[in-house]
């Protein structure tokens, strides 16, 4: 069984995502994974939550990252995996950028359809 070192995991998280306050959660059942939750706050309000799970062995090591927005009970907005923490986070960032572009297109379609109806453009 592989047991992950909490201190090493925290250092890894702090190196790549220092803007979050990290809490490490160990798996006492199997010990085959370790999870951390990072939060950002503004006053008493939670503005962002990032959860990172590290699991696997040797070359099959992988990271799962997911995040949610405003509030403690906010739903998870996206989830990605990768062989390194940096790659998993980049994939999650790319996912959010693609979603933002998609919604920008939807907003543009609605705006221009309304202008045509109103006799604008």
Q: pLDDT tens digits for 1-46? A: 466 889 999 999 999 999 999 999 977 666 688 999 999 999 888 9
Percent of the chain with pLDDT over 70: 88
d(CA 80, CA 18): 20
State both tokens at 91: 């994939």
List Cβ neighbours of 103 (8 Å cut-off, separation of 6 or more). none
User: What was the pLDDT predicted at 3?
Assistant: 67
In this structure, are residues 34 and 51 in contact, taking their beta carbons and an 8 Å threshold?
no
Percent of the chain with pLDDT over 90: 64
Q: Which of 77, 112, 117 is nearest to 97 (CA)?
A: 77
Please state, rounded to an integer, the average pLDDT across all residues of the chain.
89
Q: Whole-prediction pTM value?
A: 0.83
């Amino acid at each position: 069984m592989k047991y992950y070192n909490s201190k090493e995991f925290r250092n890894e998280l702090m190196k790549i995502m220092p803007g979050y306050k990290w809490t490490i959660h160990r798996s006492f059942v199997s010990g085959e994974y370790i999870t951390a939750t990072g939060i950002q706050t503004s006053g008493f309000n939670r503005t962002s939550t990032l959860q990172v799970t590290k699991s696997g062995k040797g070359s099959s090591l992988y990271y799962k990252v997911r995040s949610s927005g405003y509030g403690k009970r906010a739903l998870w907005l996206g989830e990605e995996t990768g062989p390194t923490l940096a790659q998993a986070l980049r994939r999650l960032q790319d996912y959010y950028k693609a979603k933002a572009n998609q919604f920008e297109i939807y907003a543009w379609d609605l705006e221009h359809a309304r202008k045509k109806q109103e006799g604008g453009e």
